[in-house]
Amino acid sequence: MTTTADDVKAWTLASLPAGSANNQSYQVINPATQQACASVPDCSAADAKKLADASVTAFDTWKHTSAFHRSQLLRKWFDRIVSGANEIAQAISSEMGKPIKEAVGEVMYAAGFAEWYAEEAKRLYGETFASQHENKRLYATRQPVGPVYAVTPWNFPAAMITRKVAPALAAGCTVIVKPAEQSPLTALLLEQYWREVGGPEGTFQVITSNNPAEISGVFFQDRRIRKLTFTGSTEVGVLLYRQSAETMKRVSLELGGHAPFIVFADADIERAAEEIMACKFRNAGQTCVCTNRIYVHRSISARLIDALATRISALRVGDPADEGTQIGPLVDEQGLNKVREHVEDAVGRGARVVVGGQALGGLYFQPTLLCDVAPGMRILEEETFGPVAPILEFDTTDEVVAAANDTPYGLAAYLWTRDLDTAHRVSERLDYGIVGINDGAPSTAQAPFGGVKMSGLGREGGVWGIQEYLDTKFVSVALAPR
Ligand code: SIN
Q: How far is the CA of 287 from the centre of ligand 1 (A)?
A: 6
pLDDT at 3 over 50: no
Q: How far is the CA of 16 from the centre of ligand 1 (A)?
A: 30
Residue 9: the pLDDT is 86
Query: What angle in degrees, to the nearest 10, is found between the helix axes of 67-83 and 85-96?
Result: 70
Closest Cα to atom 6, ligand 1: which residue?
A: 443
Which of 162, 163, 449 best tests ligand 1's pocket when mutated (most atoms within 8 Å of CB)?
449
- Point out the least confidently predicted range of 14-23, 171-180, 446-455: 14-23
| Distance from C-alpha of 364 to C-alpha of 20, rounded to nearest angstrom | 34
| Distance from C-alpha of 31 to C-alpha of 37, rounded to nearest angstrom | 10
pLDDT digits (tens, 9 = 90+) for 363-397: 999 999 999 999 999 999 999 999 999 999 999 99
pLDDT at 5 over 70: no
pLDDT at 53 over 60: yes
Sign, Cα dihedral of 422, 427, 430, 434: positive
Q: Is 288 in the pocket of ligand 1 (CB under 6 A)?
A: yes
| Distance from C-alpha of 96 to C-alpha of 31, rounded to nearest angstrom | 6
pLDDT at 123 over 80: yes
Residue 138: the pLDDT is 98
Choosing from 106, 115, 181, 254, the catalytic residue is 254
Buried b (16+ CB within 10 A) or exposed e, 348-372: eeebebbbbbebeeebbbbbbbbbb
Query: What angle in degrees, to the nearest 10, is found between the helix axes of 212-221 and 234-245?
Result: 30
CA of 286, closest atom in ligand 1? 2
CATH code of the domain occupying 5-255+455-474: 3.40.605.10
Q: How far is the CA of 282 from the centre of ligand 1 (A)?
A: 10
> Sorting pLDDT into bands at 50, 70 and 90, what band is 1?
very low
Hey, where are the domains in the chain?
Answer: 5-255+455-474, 259-447
pLDDT digits (tens, 9 = 90+) for 430-468: 999 999 999 999 999 999 999 999 999 999 999 999 999
Query: Domain 259-447 falls in which CATH fold?
Result: Aldehyde Dehydrogenase; Chain A, domain 2 (3.40.309)
Residue 7: the pLDDT is 63
| Distance from C-alpha of 108 to C-alpha of 91, rounded to nearest angstrom | 14
Give the number of C-alpha atoms closer than 13 A to the C-alpha of residue 163, restricted to the C-beta side. 33
Q: Is 155 in the pocket of ligand 1 (CB under 6 A)?
A: yes
Residue 173 annotated among the catalytic residues of the structure = no
Residues in the chain: 482
Residue 371 annotated among the catalytic residues of the structure = no
| Distance from C-alpha of 230 to C-alpha of 303, rounded to nearest angstrom | 40
pLDDT at 114 over 90: yes
Sorted by sequence, the CB contacts under 8 Å of residue 175 that are 6+ apart come out as 55, 147, 148, 149, 150, 164, 165, 168, 169, 203, 204, 205
Q: How far is the CA of 83 from the centre of ligand 1 (A)?
A: 23
User: Among residues of the chain, what percentage have pLDDT more than 90?
Assistant: 95
pLDDT at 318 over 60: yes
Q: How far is the CA of 348 from the centre of ligand 1 (A)?
A: 31
Whole-model pTM: value is 0.97
Residue 256: the pLDDT is 96
Q: Which of 404, 389, 401 is nearest to 307 (CA)?
A: 389
Closest Cα to atom 8, ligand 1: which residue?
A: 443
The stretch 164-169 carries a mean pLDDT of 99
Query: What is Dmax (Cα atoms) for the chain?
Result: 84
* Backbone φ and ψ of 84, nearest 5°: -100, 20
In Å, how far from its chain's centre is CA 355?
Answer: 29
Q: How far is the CA of 449 from the centre of ligand 1 (A)?
A: 8
Which of 116, 183, 230, 287 best tests ligand 1's pocket when mutated (most atoms within 8 Å of CB)?
287
> Sorting pLDDT into bands at 50, 70 and 90, what band is 12?
confident
How confident is the prediction for the chain on average, in pLDDT? 96
CA of 283, closest atom in ligand 1? 2
pLDDT digits (tens, 9 = 90+) for 60-92: 999 999 999 999 999 999 999 999 999 999 999
The stretch 133-138 carries a mean pLDDT of 97
- DSSP states along 200-233: -TTSEEE---S-HHHHHHHHHH-TT--EEEEES-
Q: Is 283 in the pocket of ligand 1 (CB under 6 A)?
A: no
Burial grade of 248 (CB within 10 A; 0-12, 13-18, 19 or more): exposed
pLDDT digits (tens, 9 = 90+) for 198-244: 999 999 999 999 999 999 999 999 999 999 999 999 999 999 999 99
| Distance from C-alpha of 252 to C-alpha of 276, rounded to nearest angstrom | 29
Q: How far is the CA of 104 from the centre of ligand 1 (A)?
A: 15
Q: Is 156 in the pocket of ligand 1 (CB under 6 A)?
A: yes
Pairing assessment for the beta strands 412-416 and 434-437 based on DSSP bridges? parallel
pLDDT digits (tens, 9 = 90+) for 259-303: 999 999 999 999 999 999 999 999 999 999 999 999 999 999 999
Pairing assessment for the beta strands 35-41 and 25-30 based on DSSP bridges? antiparallel
Closest Cα to atom 1, ligand 1: which residue?
A: 288
Choosing from 43, 173, 279, 288, the catalytic residue is 288
Residue 4: the pLDDT is 44
pLDDT at 191 over 50: yes
